[in-house]
Structure 1
Amino acid sequence: MNKINNNLEFNGNEDEHFIEYYNNKNYKSDLLKANKNNKAKNKKNSNFNFKSIEKNRLNNNKNKFILNRTAYYNSNENINFQSDIIYVEENITVNDLALKIGVEATELLKILFKKGKLLNINQFLDLHLLNLISQELKINITTIDKKNNIYINTENKNEQNINNNQLKTRAPIVAVLGHVNHGKTSLIEHLVKSDLTKNEIGHITQHIGAHEFTIGSKDKKIILLDTPGHEAFESIRKRVLKISDIILLIIAADEGIQQETSRIIESLKNSKSSIVIVITKVDKIDAKKNIAKILQHLTEYGLIAEELGGDIPRVDVSIFNEKSLELLLDMILLISEIKNLKTNPGAQAEGIVLETYLDKNKVPRANLILQKGRIRVGDIIIAGQGFGKIRSLFNYKGEKISESEAVSLINILGMPELVKTGELFEKVETEKKAKSKIEELKNKKDHADFKQILIKSDNNSNIDKKTIDINLIIKADVQDSVEAVIEVIKKNINNVEGNIKITIVRAEIGEVSLNDINLASITKAYIIGFNIKISKPIQKIAQMKQIVIKNYNLIYDLFEDLNKLIQDLLKGNIAKVEVIGKAVVKTIFNLAKGKVAGCIVIEGKLDSLKFEKNDIEEIYEGKECGVLCKNFQSWKENDIIECVSSNNDKIRACLIAFFNCFCCLAVKQVKRLGQNLFNSNLVGVLRLFLEVVYLIIPGFILLLFNLHLVHSRVILIRISLRLAINLLNLNHFIILLYYYC
């Protein structure tokens, strides 16, 4: 078990007295005496202030952080640090740089070997070699000349004397991570004083929620990033970790460490962010007992809380206790103070892409974190492998602004392209420079256009079985949702026993278009939509071309439906199911027969329902109706009822209808054909011929129209039933009974 370092840096100037005190050998004993004195005072004073005690604890934590620090500089150093830059001394060795960056030394040697440089781990690196490594790893390495206090940036090789007066304290970027329904979004709601779940389907987070707010009493700004808890969004969480200064690990007191919590903790081991353990729902029964178990369980992952001898702080929170929320904010501000987060407003503007999407006019937009410099309307920015001019700029409240200064959340119109979360963006002065930089990027890596993704099941026990091919087209609201859907597909295919090959022929942002329908028709693909709207004209065209479109708002529903589809395909039930009608449950009635869902049809039509007190066969859009199910009573308001049509049922109906016709013909031929021919009864032969036509024509019509005409099937059943009764043939009744079943 490796202990996770809390990665806390701090300002040497501000905490110089702590450093000097730390150099004193009696520091630990003095700290223990101070703690004992505080406890004794608290016992004597029965009316002590809980909040003041917690503040004292936070101050002690600060001392403890400094005591456990891993910074390499001594008390006489006068250096200001920026958290997004890796500072190294001149003439650093390969091994020391690897420890500083957090990678294996062999990885650095491989990078240098590819560049034609053969070194060992104990050799020193000059500025040129540091520049090669920084370009390959896409990190900013700055060397420090301690004598002259000069920073040398390896990105541009320009020596610049940074004036400390130019640096400005910036807001911490805080990521909130935890298992689904452990209270992440509720906690953020109470911190930012806003209802965030009202726009989330099913009240679960499925996008990155970015929030900027100011603590009024202290005039301090914090940027909070709310991440999805479902495992399908794991790639999003990993990218958020890279841009965060502080991680709030949320664990519910009543549920403890869950599967997703374990995955998050594993990803924290390679993070350079500082961690805070936040126990939520502490107001529940037996919460205190569970907290002790949770902290003990965390030690198995290398996360050791302060009270167990570690350096990771813990804050117990209840959304109903305002003081606990204040303590959490105090902890965030304390850690950001220790880390001494700075930014240079005069530097070239750059930052991180949080989320990209298409607006209602299908124009690319983006939510960004501006980390350095200042950005204005009309500026040219590079992101991904494209560049564009900012046409409109909005702050975190959605208000239109002309410029913004780091560090802040912004939304821009005029994004060059749709890029992934975590991608860097930067401002350039002219279009000529932008084009030159884009060409450099294109030479380094292939273009980011989507290529077909092939996903195969890893089940070697079914080598002899036939492989089932599935083609999919994915359409989603944002780029992160596209990736989440692909992750769901990968997980589903690896959890089934069988040979499955899924080809994703297209995966992109936007609504389903006619081009998607045509591609699905050519490739025989299913279309999966996530958090998008499908227009009625597109639905009609898809229905005509028999293209299956399934649209989801919840990742859980997508997960379950995709798993069911794969299982049906493995069993040979290759059914194309299409939604032909939708209704929403408005109220619920209790009758003697069971619960009836009072609905209003919002799309298409539904069959076999009740209108007022009468049984009806179908009801159309805009009408109200009641739904009674024999084996289902768990109706809830705002439930969506879907009426579906399956190709399997249609094909089976056609086959049974033709089989019924064939049996009728066979029986009649056996009983009457010989007699009619023997007697030369032309009338009987003609009658037999007409009855044959009477049976075959309706069946043929059904086959041509693929049973879209429901009433044609009813006519066929009635004709067949009348003929069977006239003939008094038992075989016909058996066939018709099977057909009805």
Structure 2
Amino acid sequence: MLLLTSNILQICNVVCRHPGMGHSLSRTIIPTIHSQFRHYSNRYPRNKLTRSSKNKQPKPLNFVIPNYISVSKLANLLNCRIETLIKDLTKLGFANISHNYILSREYVELILQEYNYVLPASQAAITSKNIYDGLKAPANPKFLQRRPPVVTIMGHVDHGKTTIIDYLRKSSVVSGEHGGITQHIGAFQIVTPVSKKSITFLDTPGHAAFLKMRERGANITDIIVLVVSIEDSVMPQTLEAIKHIKNSGNELIVAITKIDTIKRPKDREKAIERVTNDLISQDIPVEKIGGDVQVIPISAKTGENMDLFEESIILLSDIMDVRAENSLKTLVEGWVLESQVRKTVGNVATVLVKRGTLQKGKILLCGNTYCRVKLMVDDLGKDVIKAEPAQVVEVRGWKDLVRAGDEVIQTVSESVAKKYINRRIALQAVEKDAVTVENLNEQRREEAELQKHKNEIEDEDIKKSFVPQGPKDVNFIVKSDVSGSAEAIEESIEPLGNAEVRCKVISSSVGLPNESDFKMAQITDSKILCFNLGNLPSEVINNPYHIEVKQYNVIYKLIEDVTDILTDNLKPIFEKKFTATIDIREVFEFTMKKKLIKIAGCKVRNGVLNKNSLIQIIRGPEKKIIFEGKVATLKHEKEDIMEVSKGHECGVTFEKQFEDYKKDDVILVYENVKVPRFL
């Protein structure tokens, strides 16, 4: 039993040293460990620890187990010596335990069980991520009906994804996109011209910055259309999309676009063959090699094969037999595709309905907020009375702004929604404390090790080498039109930097910068990055806090500017550029006020010698540097002059009253030239 306990806790102890992993592990496997402890304790006799060996009878628990407690306070609760408890914890696999080490509730329960205390029955771990699962009802087969398929279009930037949507819904989304790229998840439900059946399309951005948005699109869809240009074939974002497709396990259709750019049939066949082979090399089981992935060459510009494309989607959805509960009795579930704040209507969210029928007046729970649905608008801007499964609507009436990617769940009343929200906020606080505790334990462990090293080393200079020197933080505050873009920008710029300088996003939110943002920027010395917020008001640009505010419409321009700002914060490196050579022909000595003064009689060999020039004096064939500094005075005959050009003579003295020069020494004039640096 002790061996089992020791092995498990050794694993927990190692994993918990990595930030963010310990709490996740304790929440997922600790209940299992508890049950295994009880199982083995019934079958095998325990090798008791120090305390449990003194009393083999189970002891009642007469105190409340705290969420977190230090070793010293736990020793007081157990009425034992700290040294004894630390010794027992070491036997259980804890390393470098001290009196101020903080233990989580799960570890305390394991320790109490080893000390023969009777613990309350364990329950399934509830976290902030699964607390709303209790609101979900199991599927009722009576209400299952066919629904439109949800299709996500993925692929590399500028491969024609949005153009496909334009053709199908006869609109012009491309013309409204900054820089010619899609920068939000677009959701549209169309009725196909041939089969007259509905398809819900999610148009995900192809730029590398929108990784999280593409992952979200792959995880809430039924069918994925991978768009590959016949001109470029498989590109970096194509490979990334393929990775998401494989991870999602969704059905796949490949659309080879822009076939109208190749006129000759033979050349077109060769290009299609090349793209198909590239897909095969990426383990895509296309029909050519006996797989089930359809590859359809299309041109959204001319409409060639577009009828075949849409019929392939309908056929695949029929085979999949996608269904959902479409009943007013079913509690609605869905996903937030996008969210933003509008001046006239407040907080709005684009919601994809997963099950149930959404109507006005229903209570929706999402994240840490809720709403009573006031109004629903479809992708054409029309008010709708109800939204059925696979339909996308803009929902208005949220108390606070929701996050893109969060799940939406219907509750029976506002009181139930508030109750679950309060419980979730409390759990988030506990989870945040868990991370803080882990970081605190790690910090104390590092401080103890550092102190140990300092005690062993007497040299102060060597001690300083143990002080960690981290990179310089360059702070930014991100403001965007929608939460998905703010998330994408944060994910894109936070990894930028190196060991010397790094990007740090202080906050990211939706809407124009407000007074709170300016105060935060002033405190943290941050720049404010605005994305897709239109023409900024003058009070924002010329804010009284004198905070630099930058506006962008294209994300890769924003990333380039952030990279340039980080580069400007790198420690400058200078190189010497030699511009003139001067020979010392004679050394003159003068007595002035009983003080001997030396003057170097020089002739400029090349270049120009200026007063206050940076110079080096070198001596002999080995060119040994005997002085480095500046020119103090520059004279021609008895007059002070500012510069001497090539071929002219002059008298020179040097700063710091340097006079240890000789005849035939050489003066080199140089400039410090800043060397360009890059991340």
Residues 340 and 194 (structure 1 numbering): CA distance in 2 closer, same or farther, change over 3 Å? same
For 1:234, the equivalent position in structure 2 comes to 211
Q: How far, CA to CA, are the matches of 1:249 and 1:320 in structure 2? A: 18
Residues 207 and 159 (structure 1 numbering): CA distance in 2 closer, same or farther, change over 3 Å? closer
Contact 1:473 1:516 (C-alpha < 8 Å) held by counterparts: yes
Deviation at 1:320, TM superposition (A): 3.7
Please, which moves more after superposition, 288-297 or 437-446?
Answer: 437-446
For 1:404, the equivalent position in structure 2 comes to 387
1:470 maps to which of 471, 474, 498:
474
For 2:630, the equivalent position in structure 1 comes to none
Q: How far, CA to CA, are the matches of 1:161 and 1:506 in structure 2? A: 43
Contact 2:540 2:549 (C-alpha < 8 Å) held by counterparts: no
Where 1:225 maps in the other structure, the secondary structure is: strand
Where 1:186 maps in the other structure, the secondary structure is: helix
Q: TM-score, normalised by structure 2?
A: 0.58
Residues 161 and 293 (structure 1 numbering): CA distance in 2 closer, same or farther, change over 3 Å? closer
Q: CA RMSD in A?
A: 3.6
For 1:330, the equivalent position in structure 2 comes to 311
2:280 maps to which of 296, 299, 315:
299
Residues 512 and 730 (structure 1 numbering): CA distance in 2 closer, same or farther, change over 3 Å? farther
For 1:558, the equivalent position in structure 2 comes to 558
Residues 159 and 386 (structure 1 numbering): CA distance in 2 closer, same or farther, change over 3 Å? closer
Amino acid at match of 1:508: S
Contact 2:259 2:298 (C-alpha < 8 Å) held by counterparts: yes
For 1:527, the equivalent position in structure 2 comes to 528
Where 2:278 maps in the other structure, the secondary structure is: helix
Q: How far, CA to CA, are the matches of 2:170 and 2:485 in structure 1? A: 27
Contact 1:392 1:400 (C-alpha < 8 Å) held by counterparts: yes
The 5 Å alignment of 1:43-58 reads none
Residues 369 and 134 (structure 1 numbering): CA distance in 2 closer, same or farther, change over 3 Å? farther
Residues 266 and 551 (structure 1 numbering): CA distance in 2 closer, same or farther, change over 3 Å? same
Amino acid at match of 2:552: Y
For 2:488, the equivalent position in structure 1 comes to 484
| Deviation sequence 1:78-129 (CA, Å, 0-9, x none) | xxxxxxxxxxxxxxxxxxxxxxxxxxxxx9999465344449xxxxxxxxxx
Contact 1:420 1:479 (C-alpha < 8 Å) held by counterparts: yes
The 5 Å alignment of 1:687-702 reads none
For 1:413, the equivalent position in structure 2 comes to 396
Where 1:292 maps in the other structure, the secondary structure is: helix
Q: How far, CA to CA, are the matches of 2:139 and 2:550 in structure 1? A: 57
Deviation at 1:508, TM superposition (A): 0.9
Deviation at 1:406, TM superposition (A): 2.5
Q: How far, CA to CA, are the matches of 2:343 and 2:255 in structure 1? A: 38
Deviation at 1:258, TM superposition (A): 0.7
Q: How far, CA to CA, are the matches of 2:27 and 2:474 in structure 1? A: 40
Q: How far, CA to CA, are the matches of 2:131 and 2:268 in structure 1? A: 43
Q: How far, CA to CA, are the matches of 1:547 and 1:139 in structure 2? A: 41
Deviation at 1:139, TM superposition (A): 12
Q: How far, CA to CA, are the matches of 1:109 and 1:291 in structure 2? A: 51
Q: Tell whether 2:181 aligns with 1:177.
A: no
Deviation at 1:229, TM superposition (A): 0.8
For 2:71, the equivalent position in structure 1 comes to none
For 2:332, the equivalent position in structure 1 comes to 349
For 1:371, the equivalent position in structure 2 comes to 354
Contact 2:194 2:307 (C-alpha < 8 Å) held by counterparts: no
For 1:642, the equivalent position in structure 2 comes to none
Contact 2:475 2:524 (C-alpha < 8 Å) held by counterparts: yes
Residues 184 and 334 (structure 1 numbering): CA distance in 2 closer, same or farther, change over 3 Å? same
1:279 maps to which of 243, 250, 256:
256
Q: How far, CA to CA, are the matches of 2:138 and 2:220 in structure 1? A: 26
| Deviation sequence 1:485-524 (CA, Å, 0-9, x none) | 112213432xx5x411333222111101222222222221
| Deviation sequence 1:569-614 (CA, Å, 0-9, x none) | 11549xxxxxxxxxxxxxxxxxxxxxxxxxxxxxxxxxxxxxxxxx
| Deviation sequence 1:353-372 (CA, Å, 0-9, x none) | 11010002471101111122
Residues 217 and 330 (structure 1 numbering): CA distance in 2 closer, same or farther, change over 3 Å? closer
Contact 1:382 1:434 (C-alpha < 8 Å) held by counterparts: yes
Deviation at 1:549, TM superposition (A): 1.1
Where 1:269 maps in the other structure, the secondary structure is: helix
5+ residue gaps, structure 1, are: 1-106, 120-130, 141-153, 455-462, 574-727
Q: How far, CA to CA, are the matches of 2:543 and 2:128 in structure 1? A: 49
Deviation at 1:243, TM superposition (A): 0.4
Amino acid at match of 1:380: I
Q: How far, CA to CA, are the matches of 1:555 and 1:732 in structure 2? A: 51
Residues 553 and 156 (structure 1 numbering): CA distance in 2 closer, same or farther, change over 3 Å? closer
The 5 Å alignment of 1:426-445 reads 426-445=409-428
Contact 1:282 1:288 (C-alpha < 8 Å) held by counterparts: no
Q: How far, CA to CA, are the matches of 1:217 and 1:262 in structure 2? A: 32
5+ residue gaps, structure 2, are: 1-23, 38-122, 440-466, 574-638, 646-670, 672-679
Contact 1:384 1:417 (C-alpha < 8 Å) held by counterparts: no
- Count, aligned residues: 434
Contact 2:185 2:204 (C-alpha < 8 Å) held by counterparts: yes
Residues 733 and 351 (structure 1 numbering): CA distance in 2 closer, same or farther, change over 3 Å? farther
Larger Rg: 1 or 2? 2
For 2:517, the equivalent position in structure 1 comes to 516
| Deviation sequence 1:720-740 (CA, Å, 0-9, x none) | xxxxxxxx9963999xxx9xx
The 5 Å alignment of 1:107-146 reads 111=28, 114-115=31-32, 116-118=34-36
Q: How far, CA to CA, are the matches of 1:272 and 1:137 in structure 2? A: 22
Q: Tell whether 2:173 aligns with 1:196.
A: yes
Amino acid at match of 1:416: K
Q: How far, CA to CA, are the matches of 1:412 and 1:481 in structure 2? A: 19
2:291 maps to which of 302, 307, 310:
310
Amino acid at match of 2:556: Y
Contact 1:383 1:425 (C-alpha < 8 Å) held by counterparts: yes
Q: How far, CA to CA, are the matches of 1:448 and 1:205 in structure 2? A: 36
More helix by share: 1
Residues 505 and 161 (structure 1 numbering): CA distance in 2 closer, same or farther, change over 3 Å? closer
For 2:503, the equivalent position in structure 1 comes to 502
For 1:263, the equivalent position in structure 2 comes to 240
Q: How far, CA to CA, are the matches of 2:246 and 2:569 in structure 1? A: 40
Q: How far, CA to CA, are the matches of 2:397 and 2:225 in structure 1? A: 33
Residues 197 and 730 (structure 1 numbering): CA distance in 2 closer, same or farther, change over 3 Å? farther
Amino acid at match of 1:396: D
Where 1:294 maps in the other structure, the secondary structure is: helix
Please, which moves more after superposition, 476-485 or 282-291?
Answer: 282-291
Contact 2:339 2:347 (C-alpha < 8 Å) held by counterparts: yes
Q: TM-score, normalised by structure 1?
A: 0.54
| Deviation sequence 1:155-208 (CA, Å, 0-9, x none) | 679788632xx3221011100000000111111111111100222111111110
Q: Tell whether 2:540 aligns with 1:538.
A: yes
| Deviation sequence 1:634-658 (CA, Å, 0-9, x none) | xxxxxxxxxxxxxxxxxxxxxxxxx
Q: How far, CA to CA, are the matches of 1:351 and 1:421 in structure 2? A: 12
Deviation at 1:246, TM superposition (A): 0.3
Contact 2:185 2:202 (C-alpha < 8 Å) held by counterparts: yes
Contact 1:465 1:499 (C-alpha < 8 Å) held by counterparts: no
* Percent sequence identity over aligned pairs: 28
Where 2:494 maps in the other structure, the secondary structure is: helix
Where 2:260 maps in the other structure, the secondary structure is: coil
Residues 114 and 443 (structure 1 numbering): CA distance in 2 closer, same or farther, change over 3 Å? farther
Deviation at 1:133, TM superposition (A): 10
Where 1:508 maps in the other structure, the secondary structure is: strand
Contact 1:369 1:409 (C-alpha < 8 Å) held by counterparts: yes
Where 2:331 maps in the other structure, the secondary structure is: coil
For 1:704, the equivalent position in structure 2 comes to none
Contact 1:112 1:133 (C-alpha < 8 Å) held by counterparts: no
Contact 2:479 2:508 (C-alpha < 8 Å) held by counterparts: yes
Q: How far, CA to CA, are the matches of 1:253 and 1:344 in structure 2? A: 40
Please, which moves more after superposition, 427-436 or 437-446?
Answer: 437-446
Residues 729 and 570 (structure 1 numbering): CA distance in 2 closer, same or farther, change over 3 Å? same
For 2:603, the equivalent position in structure 1 comes to none
